[in-house]
Amino acid sequence: MFTNQRFSKTLLFAALAPVFLTGCDWVVMSPSGDIAAQQANLIVWATILMLIIVVPVIALTFWFAWRYRASNKKATYSPDWDHSTHLELVIWAAPLAIIIALGAMTWVSTHQLDPYRPLSRIDEGKPVPADMEPLVVEVVAMDWKWLFFYPEYDIASVNELAAPLDRSIQFKITSTTMMNSFFIPALAGQIYAMGGMETKLHAVINEVGVYDGFSANYSGAGFNGMRFKFHGMQDEAFEAWIARVKTQGEDLTRPVYKELEKPSEYEPVRYYRSVMPGLYDKILNRCVDPGTLCMKDMMGGHQHTGHQSAEAENHDAH
């Protein structure tokens, strides 16, 4: 009785699954940014190329099972058959052609969609204007929230990001402690944020809307609340957002940042109308605290010391 009930529930779930899936937001396959759209096209074409092999193989599997079933006396019985040149050519040539096509397409797309590569277009058929400067956004993954700097406007925000339509965006990404993954599915693919290191991502948003952003890499207890909203705006709306941040925000000084740096979960949106000079660079180089030697200076010091040692060795040699 129990088995029958469980089987009935399984059938019911299978029948209702398509209904539930109709409410899913297939944002990865229907994005609003050109980079994400190109990535979606790559997924579609890669899938089509693979299905050229997969579908016939599945179809032939069922056909052979039906054609050569025990009850079919009309099927040709050839117990001594072991080779067919034509069949071997089809079996090997078709997958090889698919692999070559898939490899070439992936190689080209991998270079075109390199996250470190500046954009060559803002939409299909629309190259980046020669006089367009990218909007630079400095991203800091914290425990467990996102901090965004806008150096062009000397502002910052927590768990809210905005950008104007059809303007290239250059993200500079780092982390305060553990590794996270910066991901806005509607905009572009994910890229990791790591402490003491900087990764980059170039992207563009082409449609007005509010999109989900989050960490795609587990980073501890507050990971589930490490989410933010990305606003794609017309130029006027973006300028109004900048003005709102400057009006409603507070100053992001060193003490304010040190308080913000403490781990917290489900942090609300916050605005900062001004930012301590060089704060992002100090976060990246782990020298926010006064008197702390920055990583870049430490490395530079080692290089300088090494240069002096080489000069001393050359002097002694002479």
What's the pLDDT tens digit per position in 255-276?
A: 999 999 999 999 999 999 999 9
| Per-residue confidence band for 300, with pLDDT thresholds at 50, 70 and 90 | low
Q: What value does the mean pLDDT of the chain take?
A: 87
Report, as an integer, the average pLDDT of 26-46: 90
Rounded to whole angstroms, the Cα distance separating 250 from 190 reads 30
Nearest-angstrom CA–CA distance, 285 and 41: 38
For the stretch 117-161, pLDDT in tens is 999 999 999 999 999 999 999 999 999 999 999 999 999 999 999
Global pTM?
0.80
**Is the model's pLDDT at 310 over the cut of 60?**
no
State pLDDT tens for residues 234-256.
Answer: 999 999 999 999 999 999 999 99
CA distances from 272 to 14, 38, 52, 133, 134 (A): 50, 34, 54, 23, 22
Q: In whole angstroms, what is the distance from residue 122 CA to residue 262 CA?
A: 38
Give the pLDDT mean for 88-115: 91
Instruction: Tell me the mean pLDDT in the region 182-198.
Output: 95
- Is pLDDT above 70 for 50? yes
pLDDT at residue number 26: 79
